[in-house]
């Protein structure tokens, strides 16, 4: 975003990781140096240290680090041993990885609508789409606000379903429930966090963390991330290689003490926008349904590139991509 100010053009990126790097490099670089000196790149001591720190933050018993936020959702879903036709209820208003992980674990994503206030999944809508094939509910916590997990837990308990929290964007988020603050990761059967560099706690590459307070699940997840065997060369089942690099764990441990103050700064900036924009009327008074054809077009129109220099190869690629979507 480029804004004009009295002094000229002000460049406002959506995120400035270089500014963050400059502020903390004196803390992070020695931590990386220590891992390099030790040469313990895979499952070195920084990994279990980060696992306990994140589990502690989430008020959960176990932290199990893995290679990405996507895997932090996929592995708990795999631990459900889904059969073809089994359903997992989630929100359509999320990043692609949520439903993608359900599909890759062998389940069918079923979408429930979101609440207008928070844009997080609506527990009443969840209840409306439950079927005998539902195996789990996967709320996604967005914009720093936790979904109403406490209203999904009784539904899940009554039907023997699991709640898996997608907290990829919500590390450190909390919700007041019955007078008590509950953390993202505290209430679900399992929770996945992402350390993608642009996340609130970002690594210098990909990374993820699962947390759970279920001992048996923690053991299973530790196996699933390591080719099905927690002990070297003993493989009880087919898993995968989804470990967090020791170097990434060291970066995250160095950044973690800053998380609370960074989150507070984000909140301050949001309030500043709220205040600075509070007198702008949002809406022109049009109710949904007043302009039905334009509203329909808004939902359905897909603009295709037609610029004169398009090559036949590009045209074919567009056609193939659209056909692929419908397949």
Ligand X SMILES: Cc1ncc(COP(=O)(O)O)c(C=O)c1O
User: Where along the sequence are the contacts to ligand X (CB under 6 A)?
Assistant: 68-70, 94-95, 97-98, 140, 166, 168-169, 194, 196, 206, 208
Closest separation in Å from C-beta 169 to ligand X: 5
**Closest by alpha carbon to 138, among 82, 194, 77?**
77
Task: Pick the closer one to ligand X by CB: 98 or 213.
Answer: 98
Least CB distance from residue 100 to ligand X, whole Å? 9
In the complex with ligand X, the residue whose CB is nearer, 130 or 140, is 140
Residue 228 corresponds to which tokens in the numbers above? 């099905």
Residue 55: closest CA among 41, 70, 72: 72
Residue among 71 and 87 whose Cβ is closer to ligand X: 71
Give the integer Cα–Cα distance in Å for 146 and 143: 8
Q: CB of 196: closest distance to ligand X in angstroms?
A: 4
Q: Which of 138, 149, 142, 203 is nearest to 173 (CA)?
A: 142
Q: Based on the number of CB atoms within 10 Å of its own CB, is 191 exposed (0-12), middle (13-18) or buried (19 or more)?
A: buried
CA distances from residue 188 to 142, 157, 210, 214 in whole angstroms, order as listed: 16, 11, 11, 10
Residue with smaller CB distance to ligand X, 45 or 109: 109
Q: How far is the CB of 224 from ligand X (least distance, A)?
A: 16
If you count them, how many residues does the chain have? 327
Q: Compute the least distance from the CB of residue 139 to ligand X, in Å.
A: 10
- Of 40 and 104, the one with the shorter C-beta distance to ligand X is 104
Closest residue to ligand X, Cβ-based? 69
In the complex, the smallest distance separating the C-beta of residue 293 from ligand X, rounded to whole angstroms, is 33
Helix or strand run (H / E) with residue 318: helix 312-326
What are the structure tokens assigned to 56, written together?
A: 């502690």
Residue entry with tokens 């509203």: 295
- Shortest spacing between CB 138 and ligand X, in angstroms: 10
Select 94 or 212, whichever has its Cβ closest to ligand X.
94
Residues 140-162 as b/e (b if ≥16 CB within 10 A, e otherwise) read: bbbebbbbbbeebbebbeeeebb
Task: Give me the residues paired with residue 194 across strands.
Answer: 208
| Shortest distance, position 246 Cβ to ligand X, whole Å | 18
Residue whose CB is less far from ligand X, 57 or 203: 203
Nearest C-alpha neighbor of 104 from the set 134, 77, 138: 77
Where b means 16+ CB within 10 Å and e means fewer, 46-69 reads: bbebbbebbbebbbbebbbbbbbb
Q: Which is nearer to ligand X, 46 or 169 (CB)?
A: 169
């Amino acid at each position: 975003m480029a804004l004009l100010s009295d002094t000229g053009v002000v460049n406002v990126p959506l995120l400035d990781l270089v500014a963050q790097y400059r502020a903390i490099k004196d803390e992070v670089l020695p931590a990386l140096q220590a891992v390099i000196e030790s040469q313990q790149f895979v499952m070195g001591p920084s990994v279990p240290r980060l696992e306990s720190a994140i589990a502690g933050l989430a008020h959960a018993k176990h932290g199990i680090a893995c290679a990405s936020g996507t895997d932090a959702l996929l592995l708990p879903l795999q631990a459900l041993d889904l059969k073809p036709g089994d359903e997992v209820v989630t929100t359509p208003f999320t990043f692609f990885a949520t439903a993608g992980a359900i599909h890759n674990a062998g389940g069918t994503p079923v979408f429930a609508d979101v609440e207008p206030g928070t844009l997080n999944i609506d527990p009443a809508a969840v209840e409306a789409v439950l079927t005998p094939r539902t195996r789990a509910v996967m709320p996604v916590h967005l914009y720093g606000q936790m979904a109403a997990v406490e209203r999904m837990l009784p539904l899940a308990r009554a039907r023997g379903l699991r709640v898996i929290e997608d907290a990829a964007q919500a590390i450190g988020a909390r919700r007041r429930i019955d007078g008590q603050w509950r953390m993202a990761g505290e209430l679900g059967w399992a929770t996945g966090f992402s350390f993608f560099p642009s996340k609130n706690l970002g690594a210098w590459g990909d990374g993820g963390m699962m947390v759970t307070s279920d001992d048996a699940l923690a053991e299973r997840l530790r196996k699933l991330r390591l080719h099905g065997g927690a002990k070297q060369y003993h493989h009880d089942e087919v898993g995968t290689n989804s470990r967090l690099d020791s170097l990434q764990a060291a970066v995250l441990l160095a950044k973690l003490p800053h998380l609370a103050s960074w989150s507070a700064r984000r909140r301050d900036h949001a309030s500043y926008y709220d205040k600075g924009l509070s007198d702008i009327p949002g809406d022109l008074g049009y109710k949904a349904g007043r302009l039905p054809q334009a509203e329909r077009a808004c939902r359905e129109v897909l603009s295709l590139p037609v610029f004169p220099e398009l090559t036949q190869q590009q045209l074919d690629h567009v056609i193939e991509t659209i056909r692929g979507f419908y397949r």
